[in-house]
Structure formats: C-alpha cells, structure tokens
Structure 1
Amino acid sequence: MLSSKRANPALWGLSLAVVLLASLFGRPDIPIDETRYLSVAWEAWQGGDWLIMHMNGQPYHHKPPLLFWLIGLGWSVFGVNDWWPRSISALASLACVLLTAQIAARLWPDRHKVPAAAGWLLLTGIYWLLFSTSVMFDVLLTAFTLLALRGVLDVWRRGGWRGWLWCGVGLGLGVLTKGPFVLLFVLPVAVAGPWWGGERASGKAWWRGLLAAGALGAAIALLWVIPAAIFGGEEFRNAILWGQVAGRVSGELAHRQPIWFYFAAGLVLVFPLVLSRQAWRAAIGQGRQRADSGTRFLACWSVPAFIALSLAGGKQFHYVLPLWPAVALLLAAGWEQGAARRGGLWLLPVVVAGLGGALLAFPLWAGKHWFAAYAGPSWSIGGGLLIVLALVLAVVSRLRRDVLPATLALFAMAVTSVLLLLVVRPFSPAFDMTPLAAKLSQLEKQGVELVHVSAYNDQYRFYGRLERPLSQISRDELAVWFAGHPESRAIVYLKDPADLAKLDADFSRPYLSGGVALIGARSAGQWSALRK
C-alpha cells in the first residue's frame, strides 16, 4: 500500500481527511485571522455583495476575493457551516500533493520513484499540515502556483499551447487568491527557461507563449479588479491597485521583521525533516547535481522568491509556504538516488519522545504559566501517544527504509492529529468566539446597542450570525460612550483572567491569555480600574 514506485492519491486524500477531522474536533477557528475571514465571507453572504468584500460594514481591501467566493460557493451547496471553509485548504492541499507528483514526473521522467516520494514528503511538514486545515490563503495560493509551474513544464516537455493555458489560469487565479505574490514563484522560472530547460525553453515561441500566459492571467484577474476599482470607491481602488502591495513590501502595514526572519521560518517549514539526517543527505546530494534540469528548475523557483521575500519589510512564516513543494521535490529526487537510504532515524524520535515526556510531566513545570488552567489528563494521554509514535518510527525506519518518505508523512500526520485532539483542544475555551457571539446575537435581536472597546477584527460577526456592524471606540472613550448610550453593552478585555471575577459583567469568559467581558454602564468604572 505504501508503494515507493507509484503515487497514492486515495491514501493521500484519506490521510488529509483524517487531519482535517482532527482539526475540526481539536480546535475552534483561531482569532484574529480565521475568525475575520469567516466574518468577511458571512457579510458577503448576508448582503449579497460578492464584488466588494466588507468587514464590519466597511469595504475590505486587504485580500482578493477568491477564497471568500469559494466559501460562499460551498455554503450555497451545503448550507452555512463551520467545516466547509477549512475543507477548502484541505482540498487545495490534496491538489498540491497531486500537482507536486506531476511536476516530479515531468522533471525526472525516467526516475519513477520520485513522484510518489515527492507527494509523501510534502505531507511530512507539520506546519504545512496545520495550514492545510486552516481558513487561510497560502495553501490555495500554492495550488495555483503549482498549476502554473506544471503548465510551464508541459510546454517544455510536449510543446504546444495547452501548457501556457494552464500557466495563465494558475497565474490569474493566484492573483485572485493573494494578489501578485504568485508572480514571485512562477515568473523567475519561466524567464530563466533557457538556463534550466535548454533549447526547448527558449526561442520566439517560448517568449510568445509566456506573454500569452501573462496576458491570460492578467485578464482573469482584471475581471474582478476593474469592476471592483470602479464601484469600490477611491480608497478601495488605491488599496487594491497599489497600496496593499506597497504596504506589505515596505512593512508599513504590518508584520515588519528583520531580513534573516525567513531563515528561522525555514526551520519551521521543514520540521520534522530538519531532524532527519536522511533528509539532509538527500538535499545535499541532489543539490550537487548542478547540471540537472530539475535542480536548476527548483533553484529558479525558490532562490529568487526567498531573496525577494527576505528583502520585503512585511514578513510572516506562512508567506514561504509556496516554497515547501520545491523542498519536497529536491528531497524526493535525492532520496530516489539512494542518498538517504543508509541507517534509521534516531534524532527525530528522541525529540518527539522528549516532547511526549514533557507533556506527561506537565504538572511539574506548567503551574506558573497562563495555560496551566487548560492542561489536564488529555496532555498526559497525548504525551504517552507521542512516545509510542516515536518508538514505532524508530523501529519502522530501520525495517522499511524503502518506504521511509511515506512513513515520515504518516508519522507527521499522526503527531499533528494527537497534538490537535489532546493538547490543543483543551485550549478551546480561550479561542472559541461562539459563546460570546451567541450572547451578542441575543442582544442584537432585543435591540440593544453594542460597542467594541479597542481594535475590532470582526471576530464575532460570523459566529453570532450578526446582522449589523458593531460600533468601535477606544478604551478612553468608554465613559463618554455610556453617558450617551446608557442602555448599551460594551465588549471589553482584561489581561488577567482572574480579574473577570471582580467585574460585574453580563457575560464573561477566558480569551487567549486574558479574558473578555460584556458590561453595562454600571461596570465601566470597575473595568477602568482593573485595566490600570
């Protein structure tokens, strides 16, 4: 079943389905990103405006609309629910696995074990698996990046225009997913075709095809951009045409990080393979094949994008997710050549077993931390299971070295599921927006005016199915607000969850490392005193 010679689409899909179920049962949607994107989709669903997205009643220009469209499409089929939005990333992840295997088959057509290994190695990344079950844009962007790159390879191998058609579709849908980010990963590969592809990737036909693919991608994106720019107003138009890109490149919008940030991100992206000497051998062995077209193709895909992302001011770990398939392909090619077949695994099982031991012994070290209140018996069970998984990996890695990529992938998915269901799930009360959102919905139906104190990211709109935006004020404006709106209720936050008991609140609960409460005018003074 775990064949090293052929792809396993059914098993890949089943494995991702298991991780998706673990995510759905193991955690709520995480604020502020996932909760915000769901609320943006809900506002479009509620208001019927799928051209200009809105957040808390205001035009939302931070992301293009494709993910929101896909959420709405699923809701129109299955009804409004919590599981479909996360399923989009899971389906995109499966598409990425299949496309990665197809790219491997085109790069190394005579090396029949590489596609299956590449597919499995893509699923070894725990960071990748977590984003494969999230309401985020990056795995979907990666799928369209891979579609465009596969189109480039189709032209190189087979000629004709069909490959450029798929390249253009991938570029256009990638722009509609996360703006021009897709160009960072595709354009250098296509432009450097003569270097990695030789005569078949050069000449007038190649450049005409590339221009045609770019024109098709631009046309697909402009089908939304032009009407959105016309009807969205000047601020919205400036943001989608220039402001968002310039702000993220400069870091003025958010997430400004030092230039070395993505070197640390690389370790996160490649975990747990970073702890495998077999993986290092495979990467180094294939990396030395400098004349190999596949190695050069991967270099054009990853190196320029990594440099550009590092030079940009705004940085997030998940921005480099579209580079993970390139890493998986490099490792798969090196693995197939035998560079990684010697010896079993020892460091990775030791580290995972150590994590399991720490979970077993959590009463000895967790007591002084804010998350101690959420730790419990499930942590001990999860720790024991991690130790068992580590022992199984150590044994299997020595007995079945021929299927080590598949073994590592199944191990990573098992570890991810254990962490979600037994370690992360107890934290759910600190992240779940539903209880407070239900209270807000009840008050909204009663006609009570609601206000959010401090920056609001629309984290309650979807979960309470709220119909109206929330007013928003600063912390210092609360007394003035209640003077003019004495019957209203305010959503406030506290840094210490223990302070919730000192507040005469209509509703309160833990929130992240602190707490959130719904208060009336009588409690405004109490809250002001507690936050000092």
Structure 2
Amino acid sequence: MKAWKYVLLLIAFIPLLYFRDFTPNNELKYLSIADEAIQNKTFLTFYNHGQIYADKPPLYFWIIMAGKSLLGFHSMLFISLFSLLPALLILYILNRWLSPYTDKKNLQTCNLMLITSGLFMGSAMVLRMDMLMCLFILLALHTFYKIYIGQASPRDKTLLPVYIFMALFTKGPVGLLLPLVSISVFLVLQKKIGTFGHYLGWKQWGILCMLCLI
C-alpha cells in the first residue's frame, strides 16, 4: 500500500482510541503497576498492590512509565500508539515481504483483510503488549527469510537475535519460542534442518544470551 493509505488507517483509528476508556481488568492493572514502580522508584522489579508481579517483562511497563513521566498523566492515546503503530508496521513489512510474489491488487486485499479482521483490529486497539511482540516476531521471521534466500545485509545476522530478544522482552517466553519453532519447522519442511546453525549459530545465541543476562 502507498504511504498515504497507512496515514488514513492511522487517522481512522485515532478517534476510537481517543474516546475509549481504560478497561478495569488488564489496562487499569498495568497503569497501577506502573504507578507503583514510579512511586517506589523500582524499574526492574514490579509490584501489584504490594505483591510481586513477575508475569510480564519490563518493556511495556517502561513505555507506560515514560508516558506518565512525560505527560504527567496516563494518556490513552500515547499508550495506544504502541499497539496501533506496530499493527501498521506489520502491514508494511508483510507488504514488502510479499510484493515479489504477488501483484499490488492482491497485496492491498490482503492488507485490508488483515486490518479489518476482529482479532487483529482488537489487538491494535487494546493496551497490551501482544501487537508489539508480534511486530518483533515478524521482524525476526522476515530477517531469517532474507538470510535464507541470500538477500540479507551484513547486519541482519546480528539483528535476528536482537529481534527475538525484543519479542521475549516484550511479553515473555512465547516471544522466544514462536520464532525458533517457526524457523525450525520451516527448515524441516524444506529438508534443511541441518543448516539451522547458519541462521542461529554461536554468535547469534551469544548475543541472545548476553541480552537476557543483562
């Protein structure tokens, strides 16, 4: 899709985000956890009403805390952008990935089908880390595919473990497992599982482990 179409999608979603309220189950809980972290000045250990909260990694809470620190209040629009913008970036990456294999009409149809599907649209509107994690998973898989077909840049082999780590750092183990399982299954189906180390060798695992250790 052309750039102006992504802008139109952004404009179409903004009123939905601006006029909605925080849901009491998850969204208000995340805001409360972020408020406790700001109050207690804890940036790696989080609490939910005094109880240790270790269900999610810190990245998304850092985003909420940054919004509160910058604006002085929890802005629905600011936090929502970290669901909506990743959704639009997912459309853009898929568009680039598929463009050599199909025509523009099919690409536009695929984009519109995805953005108007209930699950995708819903995930783009709620304050959760799902869409951000999906973006990093897609970046990891797209980077792997570029390496696989021999169109990768020299930095892509370094970026692959970074993207996997960012998916892990956004929502937890599923961000690590999904790219690894997807890559493994793809190589099994292509009867090239023996080349797994070419994509995720010692260097890539070293980067991933170093980031996790930090």
Distance 1:42 1:159 in 2: 42
For 1:156 and 1:216, locate their aligned partners in 2 and report how far apart those are by CA, in whole Å.
Answer: 20
Shift of 1:140: 1.2
**How many Å separate the matches in 1 of 2:211 and 2:141?**
17
- Cα deviation for residue 75 of structure 1 reads 3.4
Percent identity over paired residues: 25
Q: Answer yes or no: is the 8 Å Cα contact 2:33–2:48 preserved in 1.
A: yes
Corresponding residue SS for 1:218: helix
Residue type matched to 2:197 in 1? Answer: W
Distance 1:69 1:36, change over 3 A: same
Please point out which of 112, 115, 118 is paired with 1:126: 118
Is residue 164 of structure 2 the alignment partner of residue 171 of structure 1?
Answer: yes
**Partner of residue 24, structure 1:** 18
Could you say what secondary structure the match of 2:200 adopts? helix
Please point out which of 182, 185, 210 is paired with 2:200: 210
User: Does the CA-based 8 Å contact 2:97-2:142 persist in structure 1?
Assistant: yes
Amino acid at match of 1:150: H
Partner secondary structure for residue 132 of structure 1: helix
* Correspondence 1:33 to 2:23: no
Equivalent residues of 1:29, 1:35 under 8 A apart: yes
1:94-113 pair list within 5 angstroms: 94-105=88-99, 109-113=100-104
Call closer, same or farther: CA 1:163–1:56 in 2, change over 3 Å. Answer: same
Give the number of the structure whose alpha-carbon radius of gyration is greater.
Answer: 1
1:72-99 Cα offsets, whole Å, 9 max, x none, are 2333444433222222111221222122
Letter in 2 for 1:12: Y
1:151: how far off?
A: 0.8
8 Å contact from structure 1 (residues 104, 118) kept in 2: no
Q: Distance in 2 between matches of 1:209 and 1:16?
A: 35
Which residue of 2 is the match for residue 117 of structure 1? Answer: 109
Q: Give the corresponding residue for 2:37.
A: 44
Query: Counterpart of 1:192 in 2: which secondary structure?
Result: helix
Superposed CA deviations along residues 53-87 of structure 1, whole A, max 9, x for unmatched, are: 12112321111111111222333444433222222
Return the match for 2:80 from 81, 86, 104. Answer: 86
Tell me the CA shift for residue 215 of structure 1.
3.6
> What is the CA–CA distance in structure 1 between the aligned matches of 2:33 and 2:88, rounded to whole Å?
25
SS at match of 2:23: coil
Matched ranges for 1:53-72 at <5 A: 53-72=46-65
Equivalents in 1 of 2:84, 2:126: separation in Å?
8
Q: Within 1, Cα distance between the matches of 2:16 and 2:177?
A: 33
Q: Say whether the 8 Å CA contact 1:145–1:185 is kept in structure 2.
A: yes
Instruction: Quote the residue 2:4 is aligned against.
Output: 10
The aligned residue for residue 219 of structure 1 is 210
Q: What is residue 505 of structure 1 aligned with on the other side?
A: none
Distance 1:183 1:117, change over 3 A: farther
Alignment partner, residue 179 of structure 2: 186
Structure 2: which amino acid aligns with 1:207? G
Q: Distance in 2 between matches of 1:218 and 1:112?
A: 40
TM-score of the aligned structures, taking structure 2 as reference length:
0.84
2:14 and 2:69 map into 1 onto residues whose CA distance is: 21
Distance 1:47 1:17, change over 3 A: farther
Residues 195 and 111 of structure 1: CA distance in aligned 2, closer, same or farther (over 3 Å): farther
Match among 112, 137, 147 for residue 145 of structure 1: 137
| Structure 2 residue identity aligned to 1:216 | I
Q: Is the 8 A contact 1:103 1:153 kept in 2?
A: no
Flag the structure with higher helix content: 2
Superposed displacement of residue 34, structure 1: 0.8
Task: Provide the rounded CA distance (Å) in 1 between the counterparts of 2:210 and 2:11.
Answer: 35
Q: Which amino acid aligns with 1:185?
A: L
**Change beyond 3 A, Cα 1:41–1:71:** same
Q: Does 1:73 pair with 2:66?
A: yes
CA distance in 2, matches of 1:119, 1:78: 33
Query: What is the CA–CA distance in structure 2 between the aligned matches of 1:168 and 1:80, rounded to whole Å?
Result: 35
How far apart, CA to CA, are the structure 2 residues paired with 1:71 and 1:65? 10
For residues 159 and 136 of structure 1, do their structure 2 counterparts lie closer, same or farther at Cα, with a shift above 3 Å needed?
closer
TM alignment of 1:366-385, pairs within 5 A: none
Instruction: Give the drift of 1:203.
Output: 5.6
How many Å separate the matches in 2 of 1:127 and 1:194? Answer: 29
Cα displacement (A) at 1:49: 1.2
Question: Quick one: which amino acid aligns to residue 48 of structure 1?
Answer: K
Structural RMSD (CA): 2.4
Would you say the 8 A contact 1:155–1:162 is kept in 2? no
Cα distance, 1:52 vs structure 2: 0.7
Measure the CA separation in 2 of the matches of 1:102 and 1:53.
38
Change (3 A) 1:100 1:36: same
Q: Is the 8 A contact 1:150 1:163 kept in 2?
A: no
Aligned residue pairs total 210
CA contact (8 A) 1:168 1:213 kept: yes
Counterpart amino acid of residue 222 in structure 1: L
Determine the C-alpha separation between the residues in 1 that align with 2:143 and 2:183. 10
Deviation at 1:196, TM superposition (A): 5.1
Unpaired runs of 5+ in structure 1?
1-6, 224-532
Which residue in 2 is equivalent to 1:402? Answer: none
